[in-house]
Chain A
Amino acid sequence: MGNPVKQPKLAGVVGFFDSASSLMEATKKVKAANYESFDCFTPYPVHGLEKAQGLKRSPLPFVTLGAGLTGFMTAMLLQGWTSVIDWPLNVGGKPLWSWPAFVPIFFELTILFAGLCTVGAMFLLNGFPNTKKRAFDNNITRDRFALMIDAPALKSAEELHEMDDADVVKYQARLAKFKAFEESEAKTYLSSVGAHEVKSVEARGWFE
């Protein structure tokens, strides 16, 4: 009768810690436990946490470098073409290619491109725009430390049937690499590594 209630999907389980150090300990353990994916949430950057998490270095610096160089070249082309090639003007007896006068624009466009692209790239790398996930606790940015173990995206039997064999093998190989995730097991585990509160997190998007 009525509309069928949609079964909430599980995003994962989260354990709350009361200090950075306990979170750090827990992270090392969870990493060692070989879950496929988990993440730490802290109100402030904790030194060494990303290493404990095993995160790879961000490619952002390369974006900055590339964008900065692009900015520099743009400035050089802009000023060079206008001042030397298109409309050469003798201003105060200074040479046409007056690089000391161009330096502020070099600097400015380098910084501009680098800055804007870095910010943009960081947003993209951070997964923005993101309407699929919702914060599970509003106090994460205030005073809570959390560690969330994600529930892997499991394919259902129908989906498995539709996939190619090679893909199925890949999928299963992927699953095999990591520890299998099970909700209550994971919860218990989190409590065991020091979480004072553990709960499950629903997968909810912004608009749900």
Chain B
Amino acid sequence: MSENLNSTRPNTDTPFQQPRHWIGTEELSATYWSDPATLEKRSQEFHDKPIETLEMIERLDTKGIKRRDFLTLMGASMAMASFACARRPVHKIIPYVVKPEEVTGGIANYYATVCPETGYGLLAKVREGRPIKLEGNPDHPMNRGKLSARNQAQILDLYDMDRAKEPLKVSRGKGSKAAKWEDVDAEIGGKLKTIAAGSGRVRVLSGRMVSESTKRLTTEFLAGFAGGAHLEYDPISLEDMADGQAEAYGSAIIPNYHFDQAEVVLSLGADFLGSWVSPVEFALDWSKMRKLDGNKAASAKMSKLFVAESMMTVTGANADSRFPVRPGDELKIGAAIANEVAKKKGGVPAALASYTIEAVSADTGVDAKLLKEAAEALLEAAGKSIVVAGGLSSKTATAPGLQAIANFLNSTLGNDGKTVDGTGSPFTKVGGRYADVAKLISEMNSGAVDALIIYRTNPVYTLPASTGFTAALTRVPLVISISDREDETALLSDFVLPDHHFLENWGDAMPKKGVVAIQQPALAPIHSTRSFQDSLIALAKASGVKTKGLLASASATGWYDYLRANWKETILKGGSFDTAWENVLRDGIVKSASAGSSARSFKTSALAAVPAFSKAADGLVLATYDKVGMGDGLRANNPWLQELPDAITTATWDNYVAISPKLAEASALKSDDVVEISNGSETIALPVYVQPGLHASTVAMAIGYGRTAAGKVGNEVGRDVKGFAAVAGTRLAFSGASVKMTKTGRRYQVATTQWHNATEDRPIVNDITLAEFKANPKEANHTDPHLRMETSSIWPKFEYKGNRWGMSIDLSACTGCSACVIACQSENNIPVVGRDNVRKSREMHWIRIDRYYSGSAENPDVVFQPMVCQHCENAPCETVCPVLATIHDNEGMNTQVYNRCVGTRYCQNNCPYKVRRFNFFDHWKAYEGSMNLAWNPDVTVRSRGIMEKCTFCTQRIRDAKDKAKDEARKVLDADLKTACQQTCPTDAISFGNINNPEAEVSKLKLDPRAFRVLEVLNTQPAVSYLSKVRNKEGEQKHHGAGAEAGGEHHG
């Protein structure tokens, strides 16, 4: 029954059959399993001797500088003071001079604020005057209490040691000198005065600005100059969408999508669950249509997701039907489906006539049947479906055509006005266009720009050299960089006026129509920084320019007063302003009723952007994409994000070239082989990553890497691929270029975490189709041993009277976004270990997202499984601890006592789930200076030699119990959310008291879909999982086509 638990290969006695759930394409070949090196590598718990790559590892040299890991601590960097023979040190305890009324030591205050980039509402948890954790604001209509991984990591940016701490005179890269605010104000003010007098032109170049008050201030500031203009630019821009909307419907907005009302979703390249437009909001809504009740299985309904994309993304991984295509071919897929849909709805427009399903299927390799199925599903769900398109990987020269097709489909299907809201509450802040930047560059080159203020954008890093921005910058006499650090752009400017972090600043955010949020500081500025807005006000004063509006009136004594004045004038009109203001500060949002939406009329002229059908050329095509964690790379100095394992590739700390298994085989390449990618003018060397689910002609690389001035953490990590973005008319095409790939013979080990934990075909994860679920919600993969096992015990179970904590994780809801990983890291003081330690399997994350493929390597199904400490009743780890540092408490949790642990590591050895993390070094020492303010004071900071693991956020449980005891009642669901549960956008994690039958988690544990991992071991885990259900007909295919039982081998 359980013999196979000890084999490292499934079915050792029968002809080779690929595993049901595999991690990489290596596992699909019989030769891999029979290779003794495989057995040795897989049997290592710590991959400290990666067998085939150790001799061949070569550090990627960048300009002769050795790439440094993030502070590899060999114990020599700091001497530990020894108290062994010393007297007890004198510690001071220092109270306030005047204690603020609202501060009670040990009790957190929550301040509502907003993220100025996404517009999401946040609650900053402030302890003793400093924020230590960000949570979503439940009252904010967009993210409704949830945050993404990037949002959660923003707290560490506040305490980043590489922030600029005072104004700097930078002298265009010749070295920077610290300066005083008065001095820079006077100097810049003088220069601006001259410019104003000479009717000079001042430009403000910023990232997307969702703050209307800041926009107003900028406009009013620029009004003092004869030629003043404000333009916005982000590398990941929404220009295609905005322009497409303008072409089709007349207004350059981005519609709001009601994924919670969509029965069918078609995504053409848009990673709406991971990184596109508003992923937290979309994931939250989308997941509502994916939740299933096992007790009502027969009548179950769930939405269906079709995704056409070139690089595997989180959205593609959650697709029910996925079409891997070349970058740019998303347009063809969309057009073919539109062609089919239009046939039944008013006739096919001329622009789409050439995109028949047969032609597109032949060209892209996607099965015509699947395309027809998509079209039929959309037709059936007309008015209750959504088509989205966009994203960097589909931002080719034909991107406008792609948008036109998406708009056409939405209008034809009657989605516009229902699930696609362009009038009620669309995203109004769409950012800038490359065309504006191109104009700016030509103005700069012709000497027509006298002063350029760059705020919160890094064009020297994000714009490719071919745009000529860096060269044009030298033609501008005065360049002021208002950023948080001396980044690539700041180094080439004259002055750096360091900006506050958003947690230190006032502001507002109106990302959508009807959403008005306030940004308030959670702490006083740590360094001598000044907000962008205050800088503008100060410079306006120093330069003496004539200003208009609020800036001119007496109330502009500072940004705070300006903000209030603007709000009084434009938002909180009438009534008692002060009361309304206080209410907004408390809620974080101006509460308003949600607006309905009406359909817009589609202008068929928009379809002119669709090119005529042409067969794809041979050769490799480049897709550039942004990772969920790193994004555009402006946060490269955030170690949490660098070490966050990518949801799809589980890679940390680097970027790589993703290629399909077919291409890898044809080129005789394996993962970690270094190749050179060249488009004729640019060449880059990066290691290969064999990514299942890619089109054979696709070569994908992530932007956001290869920074040179991010800071100690982010410099020299990965390679910069923006050079491959090409100017196509008035836009930047990031993807679609033809490239060549050449082998170099070198190897470079990308620090991935996927091989650190492998299923070995054991009953670990379960995924079924909707058809199987309807027939039998308990349907399980036929693993050996079976998924749900009856186990018996030779001794009676402990009785848990009172609270008993348990958790349920819904695999159907988990999208793999990894927000929980960062939330846990933030809440529990989990350290960062650096690239080399991740290579040795020593990453410290308490919750990890295991990613498994099943089916064929060319287009696999993906399932994500968040894995935490299972808090087993019969915990194997507790039994073997020689000092009883880990035991079971009376509330069902496996507890880890840090001060008792002596670092034997037997518990880690014995854990079948491999969830225990060991501090091999004093990783906490890597947090230098102000970074120490980020620690959560409620959680012990662990030193070297201590074992740690998920504690079910025991400090939160303690607080909830404390509160309940105060009120003399039991702990309820509402009191208590673990960090991972609180931030998960799709509510995949449910935690609570399983002794309370009313608790949500108790009900979920009784769901027929529920199973526990490796139940056969009789560990009795407190964490149960709900099987993943895909909206498919028939049986879930686990073995790829051509590898049936008793059949042929692969490769």
Chain A residues at the B interface, C-beta cutoff of 8 Å: 89-95
A93 to B875, alpha carbons, bound, how many Å? 7
A95 to B799, alpha carbons, bound, how many Å? 11
- Say yes or no for B460: interface residue by CB 8 A criterion: no
A90 to B874, alpha carbons, bound, how many Å? 9
Interface-facing stretch out of B218-226, B326-334, B851-859, B876-884? B876-884
B887 touches A91 (CB 8 A): yes
A93 touches B884 (CB 8 A): no
B887 touches A89 (CB 8 A): yes
8 Å CB contact of B796 from A90, A91, A92, A95: A95
Instruction: Please give me the residue from chain B that is nearest to A88 by CB atom.
Output: B890
A93 to B877, alpha carbons, bound, how many Å? 11
B798 touches A91 (CB 8 A): no
B884 touches A89 (CB 8 A): yes
- Say yes or no for B888: interface residue by CB 8 A criterion: yes
Main secondary structure of the interface of A (DSSP, over half): loop
A92 touches B795 (CB 8 A): no
- Residue numbers in A under 8 Å from B887 (CB-CB): 89-91
- Ranked nearest first, the 4 interchain pairs of A and B with the lowest CB-CB distance are A90-B888, A93-B874, A92-B879, A92-B878
- Say yes or no for B797: interface residue by CB 8 A criterion: yes
Main secondary structure of the interface of B (DSSP, over half): loop
8 Å CB contact of A94 from B879, B881, B890, B1020: B879
B889 touches A95 (CB 8 A): no
- Residue numbers in A under 8 Å from B654 (CB-CB): none
8 Å CB contact of B890 from A90, A91, A92, A95: A90
Instruction: Please give me the residue from chain B that is nearest to A101 by CB atom.
Output: B879
Instruction: Please give me the residue from chain A that is nearest to B796 by CB atom.
Output: A95
- Residue numbers in B under 8 Å from A90 (CB-CB): 798, 878, 887-890
B876 touches A92 (CB 8 A): yes
- Residue numbers in A under 8 Å from B795 (CB-CB): 93-95
29 contacts between A and B (CB under 8 A): A89-B884, A89-B888, A90-B798, A90-B878, A90-B888, A90-B889, A90-B890, A91-B878, A91-B879, A91-B881, A91-B884, A91-B887, A91-B888, A92-B874, A92-B875, A92-B877, A92-B878, A92-B879, A92-B888, A93-B793, A93-B795, A93-B797, A93-B872, A93-B873, A93-B888, A94-B795, A94-B874, A94-B879, A95-B796
- Residue numbers in A under 8 Å from B872 (CB-CB): 92-93
- Residue numbers in A under 8 Å from B890 (CB-CB): 90
Known: A91-B884, A93-B873. 16 other contacts (CB 8 A): A89-B884, A89-B888, A90-B798, A90-B878, A90-B887, A90-B889, A90-B890, A91-B878, A91-B881, A91-B887, A92-B872, A92-B876, A93-B793, A93-B795, A94-B795, A94-B874
A89 to B795, alpha carbons, bound, how many Å? 16
A90 to B878, alpha carbons, bound, how many Å? 9
Within 8 A of A (CB), among B764-815: 793, 795-798
Instruction: Please give me the residue from chain A that is nearest to B875 by CB atom.
Output: A92
A93 touches B889 (CB 8 A): no
A93: min CB distance to chain B, Å? 4
A95 to B873, alpha carbons, bound, how many Å? 12
A91 to B894, alpha carbons, bound, how many Å? 9
- Residue numbers in B under 8 Å from A92 (CB-CB): 872, 874-879, 888
A93 touches B876 (CB 8 A): no
B341: min CB distance to chain A, Å? 58
A94 to B884, alpha carbons, bound, how many Å? 13
Instruction: Please give me the residue from chain A that is nearest to B881 by CB atom.
Output: A91
B699: min CB distance to chain A, Å? 50
- B interface residues, tally (CB under 8 Å): 20
- Residue numbers in A under 8 Å from B1020 (CB-CB): 93
- Residue numbers in B under 8 Å from A94 (CB-CB): 795, 874, 879
- Residue numbers in A under 8 Å from B884 (CB-CB): 89, 91
A125: min CB distance to chain B, Å? 40
- Residue numbers in B under 8 Å from A95 (CB-CB): 795-796
- Residue numbers in A under 8 Å from B873 (CB-CB): 93
A24: min CB distance to chain B, Å? 55
Q: Which of A89, A90, A92, A94 has the most CB of B within 10 A?
A: A92
A89 to B872, alpha carbons, bound, how many Å? 15
Q: Which of A91, A94, A95 has the most CB of B within 10 A?
A: A91
- Residue numbers in A under 8 Å from B879 (CB-CB): 91-92, 94
- Residue numbers in A under 8 Å from B796 (CB-CB): 95
Instruction: Please give me the residue from chain A that is nearest to B795 by CB atom.
Output: A95
A95 to B876, alpha carbons, bound, how many Å? 14
- Residue numbers in A under 8 Å from B797 (CB-CB): 93
Within 8 A of A (CB), among B858-910: 872-879, 881, 884, 887-890
A42 to B354, alpha carbons, bound, how many Å? 115
A177 to B881, alpha carbons, bound, how many Å? 68
Instruction: Please give me the residue from chain A that is nearest to B793 by CB atom.
Output: A93
A105: min CB distance to chain B, Å? 14
Instruction: Please give me the residue from chain B that is nearest to A95 by CB atom.
Output: B795
A93 to B876, alpha carbons, bound, how many Å? 9
B410: min CB distance to chain A, Å? 56
A152 to B1023, alpha carbons, bound, how many Å? 84
Q: Which of B795, B876, B884, B1020 has the most CB of A within 10 A?
A: B795
Instruction: Please give me the residue from chain B that is nearest to A96 by CB atom.
Output: B798
A93 to B796, alpha carbons, bound, how many Å? 9
B438: min CB distance to chain A, Å? 67
Instruction: Please give me the residue from chain A that is nearest to B910 by CB atom.
Output: A92
A83: min CB distance to chain B, Å? 10
Instruction: Please give me the residue from chain A that is nearest to B880 by CB atom.
Output: A92
A94 to B1019, alpha carbons, bound, how many Å? 12
Interface string of B134-168 (1 = CB under 8 A from A): 00000000000000000000000000000000000
A94 to B888, alpha carbons, bound, how many Å? 10
B428: min CB distance to chain A, Å? 57
A95 to B874, alpha carbons, bound, how many Å? 11
Instruction: Please give me the residue from chain A that is nearest to B877 by CB atom.
Output: A92
B804: min CB distance to chain A, Å? 12
A175 to B706, alpha carbons, bound, how many Å? 109
A91 to B897, alpha carbons, bound, how many Å? 13
Within 8 A of A (CB), among B379-397: none
- Residue numbers in B under 8 Å from A89 (CB-CB): 884, 887-888
A92 to B798, alpha carbons, bound, how many Å? 10
Instruction: Please give me the residue from chain B that is nearest to A89 by CB atom.
Output: B887
A91 to B887, alpha carbons, bound, how many Å? 5
- Residue numbers in A under 8 Å from B876 (CB-CB): 92
A94 to B872, alpha carbons, bound, how many Å? 12
B345: min CB distance to chain A, Å? 62
Instruction: Please give me the residue from chain A that is nearest to B892 by CB atom.
Output: A90
- Residue numbers in A under 8 Å from B877 (CB-CB): 92
A154 to B875, alpha carbons, bound, how many Å? 75
Instruction: Please give me the residue from chain A that is nearest to B874 by CB atom.
Output: A93
A91 to B878, alpha carbons, bound, how many Å? 5
A90 to B796, alpha carbons, bound, how many Å? 12
B1021: min CB distance to chain A, Å? 11
A18: min CB distance to chain B, Å? 59
A90 to B890, alpha carbons, bound, how many Å? 8
A89 to B889, alpha carbons, bound, how many Å? 8
B900: min CB distance to chain A, Å? 12
Instruction: Please give me the residue from chain A that is nearest to B873 by CB atom.
Output: A93
B893: min CB distance to chain A, Å? 10
A93 to B872, alpha carbons, bound, how many Å? 9
A5 to B879, alpha carbons, bound, how many Å? 75
A95 to B797, alpha carbons, bound, how many Å? 8
Within 8 A of A (CB), among B554-584: none
A91 to B874, alpha carbons, bound, how many Å? 8
A182 to B256, alpha carbons, bound, how many Å? 126
Q: Which of B797, B872, B878, B890 has the most CB of A within 10 A?
A: B878
Instruction: Please give me the residue from chain B that is nearest to A93 by CB atom.
Output: B874
B923: min CB distance to chain A, Å? 29
- Residue numbers in B under 8 Å from A93 (CB-CB): 793, 795, 797-798, 872-875, 888, 1020
A86: min CB distance to chain B, Å? 14
A93 to B890, alpha carbons, bound, how many Å? 11
- Residue numbers in A under 8 Å from B874 (CB-CB): 92-94
Instruction: Please give me the residue from chain A that is nearest to B889 by CB atom.
Output: A90
B792: min CB distance to chain A, Å? 13
A97: min CB distance to chain B, Å? 10
